[in-house]
């Protein structure tokens, strides 16, 4: 079974082009599933049954795992057995007709436009780190990029003269993203005045670097963002993804087309983007209740 998992993970990387994080999640989930099978004395892949898989899902439920976690495990197991069936390693798929646990639609938290403006004022642009931070937050809010996409940017990926950048999203999918004037100006100032000082003598291709001159990590950026949120007095729990949610919501509030927001954010499925219409609809209801003379 170990060899089968390795072949499956190779397939995910080479043929499906899935990101390393996704591949690692599949690997952990499948190892957990096969550990469970060992306790049930299931020794071969052909002897795995629908009953075994349902038993594993019940185990996750007894362990108080969230619906999202169970759904992720089920997705990994289904993909694995679909792969085995396609490769003719098995003749029947035990996951056939098994439903993935239904996920409740969670409305993401977002910043108001006023809170976002306040956050963007926090970096001290008289300092090298402050110029870098200003450029990162302006770019993140200006484009709606994922934080992984932001931190994976290299110098050659951005063209400020033409006002665009190239980034690689989930599954290494490339997309071209426009860069607005505020983000462009902040990046220009960072490149002209600060990046060389931070990089020092390192031969680093990353656009954004830490104090040691190396590519900034997700953890490093998260700490930076949380500190600026604290300085701004923002009470909303702020993560890098909160800014991405905020971009989509603010654009829709200001009349953007849903398809345009989908393309900007790099969503493969428009239903992912549609969740933000719930946010704008709820805000519309609040405005209506507060402002219409016949609302109450």
Q: How far apart are CA 149 and CA 209, in angstroms?
A: 14
Average confidence (pLDDT) over 159-176: 82
pLDDT, residue 288, reads 45
Look at residue 126 and tell me if it is in a domain.
yes
Residue 143 has pLDDT above 90, yes or no: no
Q: Which residues are within 8 A (CB) of 295 and not within 5 positions of it... i.e. 6 or more apart?
A: 288, 289
Instruction: Looking at the structure, tell me whether residues 184 and 82 fall in a common domain.
Output: no
DSSP, residue by residue, the chain: -HHHHHHHHHHHHHTS---HHHHHHHHHHHHHHHHHHHHTT--SGGG--HHHHHHHHHHHHHTT--HHHHHHHHHHHHHHHHHHHHTTS-SS-TTTTPPPPPPPPPPPP---HHHHHHHHT-S-TTSHHHHHHHHHHHHHHHH---HHHHHT-BGGGEETTTTEEEEE-GGG-EEEEE--HHHHHHHHHHHHHTHHHHHTT----BSSB-TTSSBPPHHHHHHHHHHHHHHHT--S---HHHHHHHHHHHHHHTT--HHHHHHHHT-SSHHHHHHHHHHHHHHHHHHHHHH-TT--
Q: Which of 132, 134, 195, 244 is catalytic?
A: 244
Instruction: Looking at the structure, tell me whether residues 209 and 275 fall in a common domain.
Output: yes
Average confidence (pLDDT) over 160-168: 88
Average confidence (pLDDT) over 96-114: 73
Q: Which of 241, 259, 278, 285 is catalytic?
A: 241
Q: Which of 26, 56, 228, 276 is catalytic?
A: 276
Residue 128 has pLDDT above 50, yes or no: yes
CA torsion through residues 110, 66, 222, 264, sign: negative
Average confidence (pLDDT) over 75-81: 93
Look at residue 64 and tell me if it is in a domain.
yes
Residue 10 has pLDDT above 80, yes or no: yes
pLDDT, residue 251, reads 76
Look at residue 275 and tell me if it is in a domain.
yes
pLDDT, residue 159, reads 93
Residue count of the chain, please give it: 296
pLDDT, residue 32, reads 94
Instruction: Looking at the structure, tell me whether residues 204 and 241 fall in a common domain.
Output: yes
Instruction: Looking at the structure, tell me whether residues 20 and 151 fall in a common domain.
Output: no
pLDDT, residue 278, reads 58
Instruction: Looking at the structure, tell me whether residues 17 and 135 fall in a common domain.
Output: no
Q: Which residues are within 8 A (CB) of 130 and not within 5 positions of it... i.e. 6 or more apart?
A: 123, 124
Look at residue 95 and tell me if it is in a domain.
no
267 is catalytic: yes
Domain containing 245 — which CATH number? 1.10.443.10
Instruction: Looking at the structure, tell me whether residues 82 and 138 fall in a common domain.
Output: no
pLDDT, residue 167, reads 82
For the chain, the average pLDDT equals 84
Q: Which of 170, 215, 226, 283 is catalytic?
A: 170
pLDDT, residue 260, reads 72
10 is catalytic: no
Q: Which of 73, 146, 195, 250 is catalytic?
A: 146
Average confidence (pLDDT) over 49-76: 90
Average confidence (pLDDT) over 25-39: 92
Average confidence (pLDDT) over 13-37: 86
Q: How far apart are CA 274 and CA 283, in angstroms?
A: 15
CA torsion through residues 65, 219, 272, 5, sign: negative
The residue from 71, 86, 101 where one domain ends is 86
Domain of 117, in residue numbers = 113-290
Q: Percent of the chain beyond pLDDT 90?
A: 43
285 is catalytic: no
Is the CB of residue 155 less than 8 Å from the CB of residue 207?
Answer: yes
pLDDT, residue 28, reads 93
For the stretch 226-265, pLDDT in tens is 999 999 998 877 877 788 788 877 777 777 766 776 677 7
Residue 152 has pLDDT above 80, yes or no: yes
Look at residue 295 and tell me if it is in a domain.
no
Segment among 143-147, 180-184, 206-210, 212-216 with least mean pLDDT? 143-147
Q: How far apart are CA 187 and CA 133, in angstroms?
A: 10
* Of 164 and 244, the one with more pLDDT: 164
Average confidence (pLDDT) over 92-115: 77
250 is catalytic: no
244 is catalytic: yes
């Amino acid at each position: 079974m170990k060899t089968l998992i390795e072949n499956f993970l190779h397939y995910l990387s080479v043929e499906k082009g899935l990101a390393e994080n996704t591949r690692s999640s599949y690997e952990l989930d499948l190892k957990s599933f096969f550990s469970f099978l060992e306790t049930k004395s299931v020794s071969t892949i052909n002897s795995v049954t629908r009953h075994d898989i349902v038993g594993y899902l019940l185990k996750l439920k007894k362990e108080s795992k969230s619906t999202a976690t169970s759904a992720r495990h089920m997705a990994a197991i289904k993909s694995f057995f679909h792969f085995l069936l396609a490769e003719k390693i098995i003749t029947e798929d035990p996951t056939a007709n098994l439903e993935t646990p239904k996920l409740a639609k969670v409305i993401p938290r977002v910043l108001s436009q006023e809170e976002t403006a306040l956050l963007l004022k926090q970096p001290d642009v008289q300092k090298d780190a402050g110029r870098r931070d200003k450029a990162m937050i302006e770019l993140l809010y200006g484009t709606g990029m994922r934080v992984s996409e932001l931190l994976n940017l290299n110098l050659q990926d951005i063209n400020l003269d033409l006002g665009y950048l190239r980034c690689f999203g989930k599954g290494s999918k490339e997309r071209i993203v426009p860069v607005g004037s505020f983000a462009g100006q902040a990046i220009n100032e960072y490149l002209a005045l600060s990046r060389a000082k931070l990089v020092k003598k390192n031969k680093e291709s990353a656009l954004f670097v830490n104090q040691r001159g190396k590519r900034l990590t997700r953890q490093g950026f998260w700490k930076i963002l949380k500190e600026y949120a604290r300085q701004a007095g923002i009470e909303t729990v702020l993560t890098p993804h909160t800014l991405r949610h905020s971009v989509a919501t603010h654009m829709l509030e200001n009349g953007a087309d849903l398809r345009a927001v989908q393309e900007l954010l790099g969503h493969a499925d428009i239903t992912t983007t549609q969740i933000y219409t719930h946010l704008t609809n709820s805000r519309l209801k609040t405005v209506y209740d507060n402002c219409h003379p016949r609302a109450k």
